[in-house]
Amino acid sequence: MDMINIAWYQLHLVKAEEARACIPKELRLVEAFGYTLGGFFLANYEDSPAGVFDELVVIAGLVWNRPTSCAWATKVYVNSDEACDHGRKEVGLPSLVTRFSKRTTTISKQPKGRVYGFYNMIGMDAIFNNPRDHLDVQLTEINCPDPADAFSFIISILITEPALSFDHWMGPAIKMSLPSFSGRTQYNPNLLKYACQIECRVRAMQPLKVSRAILTSNGDSEQHLEDQKDGTHNFSTCVMLSKHMLALKFSQMKMQVEAPIVLSQFRNS
């Protein structure tokens, strides 16, 4: 069983036309009004068959697995060669080795106004002016032939909530099964299906801020651009920069990944 220190799942609206191009033709996309539900899953694994590693799963959208649906991952970024090999060969995932860099910053902000003045008089100003810590996670694709097309992002996460905030609640303890399709890669050409059995505490949180990090010509410095898209961006980039809908935080998480099965009706001969 995989032990995950902490994880975040952010749902995005993804254009169905773009998602459909990344999904096997045998599968039918779940869509409405020209969009499907994609996003990303960011996790830190404390213990797993592949050891300790970080992971970002970019989800293209949902496909039908009647009467429910399954997620389709367009890319899986990990900072471990062992995790990459395991994902490719055992689970049929489109895994890539990626550099993860983490930095924590503290932001102090004291709001103004009559409401703040009232809380200050009664000694409850800590609700507003407690410093907040943000975790910035930067991912940079390794060995990309064209640096301009490399997957490189910064995900900013609020990790310290205001004092006396309801957000300190870790959320209810839940158990769930998340089915997924995989395969159709050079390492595993068959279409596969597997499920993740999860136990965790979950709650909604502030959306994670996503910005693209562009390496300059000397490869040393970076600039952060938000909501910028052009023809050179791959589909994973489009998903990351699409409109977010909901952000969830998972804590005290345990996950069991079941062995994938080959869908015989779609077997690649």
Amino acid at 265: Q
Higher pLDDT, 108 or 51: 51
pLDDT value for 169: 72
- Pair 59, 74: CB distance under 8 Å: yes
CA distance 38 to 26: 19
- At 145 the three-state DSSP class reads coil
* Confidence label for 267 from pLDDT (cuts 50, 70 and 90): low
Q: Determine what percent of the chain is predicted with pLDDT higher than 70.
A: 75
Band of pLDDT at residue 234, cut at 50, 70 and 90: confident
One-letter amino acid identity for 48?
S
Task: Give the pairing of strands 152-158 and 222-225.
Answer: unpaired
What are the start-end ranges of the H helices in the chain? 16-20, 81-90, 114-121, 126-129, 235-240
2-138-167-202 Cα dihedral, nearest 10 degrees: -30
Span 122-160, pLDDT tens digits:
554 554 455 578 899 999 988 776 666 678 899 999 876
**Residue 111 above 50 pLDDT?**
yes
Local confidence band at 243 (pLDDT 50, 70, 90 cut-offs): very high
Rounded mean pLDDT of 91-111? 85
Question: 4: pLDDT confidence band, cut at 50, 70 and 90?
Answer: confident
> Do residues 240 and 58 make contact, with C-beta atoms less than 8 angstroms apart?
yes
* pLDDT at 112 exceeding the cut of 80: no
Task: Tell me which residue of 64, 65, 89, 62 sits closest to 73, measured CA to CA.
Answer: 62
Average pLDDT (60-89) is 94
Question: What does DSSP say about strands 95-107 and 132-141: parallel, antiparallel, or unpaired?
Answer: antiparallel
The confidence score (pLDDT) of residue 159 equals: 74
Q: Above 70 in pLDDT, residue 229?
A: no
Query: For residues 183 and 93, what is the distance between their CA atoms, to the nearest angstrom?
Result: 6
The CA-based angle 193-245-222, given to 5 degrees, is: 95
Going by pLDDT thresholds of 50, 70 and 90, the confidence category of residue 196 is very high
Long-range contacts for 230-238 (Cβ within 8 Å, ≥24 apart)? 232/148, 232/149, 233/149, 234/149, 234/151, 235/18, 235/19, 235/21, 235/22, 235/60, 235/74, 236/58, 236/74, 236/75, 236/151, 237/151, 237/153, 237/212, 238/14, 238/15, 238/18
